[in-house]
Amino acid sequence: MTDAAYLLVHEDREYLLEPGEEFGTDLGVIEVPEDVAAGDEVETHLGTVFEVRALRGPDLFNHLERTGAPMMPRDVGLVMGHTGASGGDRVLDAGTGTGILAAYLGRAGADVTSYEVDPEFAEVARANMATAGVADRVEVRTGDLTEELDALAEGEPFDALTLDTGDAPAVVERADELLAPGGRLAVYSPFVEGTREAALAAREAGFSEVETLETIQREMDFSDRGSRPSTAGVGHTGYLVFARAP
């Protein structure tokens, strides 16, 4: 992983900027030096000081250019935990979308092949991977994963398969051909219909440990009056199916 971008922070302002980049703000123009490093301070031409910080995973969610709805950090955490994807693993991912999940996987050391059917989204995702410092680990391929299954099934098997597309069940049907024995499958779906289809397809394909989870988080509020879950509503994001390849 390379430090391709940094977070420049002043009070509640923060910008994701690359070495050598010039950026105009209402606090003045920031010129990021080519040799900038985390811990430096950079002054705008009007004299406001920005602190330079290393880029962290959650900053990607907040600052990468968005195309397809990005996976939220809470769901990324579940995918990372349930697939165990880590250094040296080969991961097949689709669709890339903004590339949040792909970037997290790459930053964890996995070698990721990610398919994105929309050519413009794929271009943005490639730039996002460069910003995230994982362009050497995450290969974004323009294409429909469902049309690549024959070719991929003939290649080296993957350790994990992560799917976040409406047609994921069609890929799950053939996921045993893509994964090494014991390899892990993760399917994210915002709707219960697609989730059920993916879980049934995994079972049909001979996968074990097929498990379906709904992601709900309750934020806690701490005030002078007391502590309780936030009244802002139920924090539902989606459903996740996990399974183990035969």
Ligand X SMILES: C[S@@+](CC[C@H](N)C(=O)[O-])C[C@H]1O[C@@H](n2cnc3c(N)ncnc32)[C@H](O)[C@@H]1O
Q: Distance (Å, rounded) from C-alpha 188 to C-alpha 164? A: 5
SS (H, E, C) 82-104: HHCCCCCCEEEEECCCCCHHHHH
φ/ψ of 169, rounded to 5, equals -55, -35
Radius of gyration over alpha carbons of the chain, in Å? Answer: 20
Q: Residue 48 or 215: which CB sits closer to ligand X? A: 215
CB of 48 vs ligand X, minimal distance in Å: 32
The contact pattern for ligand X, residues 12-31, with x = CB under 6 A and - = no contact, is --------------------
- Is the Cβ of residue 163 or residue 243 nearer to ligand X in the bound state? 163
Query: Any contact of residue 101 with ligand X (CB under 6 A)?
Result: yes
Classify each residue of 160-170 as buried b or exposed e, where b means 16 or more C-beta atoms within 10 Å of its C-beta.
bbbbbbebbbb
Q: Does 194 bind ligand X (CB under 6 A)?
A: no
Which residues does residue 177 pair with via DSSP β-bridges, in sequence order? none
94 binds ligand X (CB under 6 A): yes
Q: Which residues contact 79 (CB under 8 A, 6 or more apart)?
A: 71, 85, 101, 162, 186, 188, 240
Nearer Cβ to ligand X (30/198)? 198
Residue 79 found at the interface with ligand X (CB under 6 A) = no
Hey, what are 72's tokens?
Answer: 């939220």
- Smallest distance from ligand X to CB 229, Å: 27
Q: Judged by CB under 6 A, which stretch of 50-58, 99-107, 197-205, 236-244 contacts ligand X? A: 99-107
Q: Quick one: which segment of 4-12, 37-45, 50-58, 95-103 binds ligand X (CB under 6 A)?
A: 95-103
Residues that bind ligand X (CB under 6 A): 67-71, 94-95, 97-101, 115-118, 121, 144-146, 164-165, 167
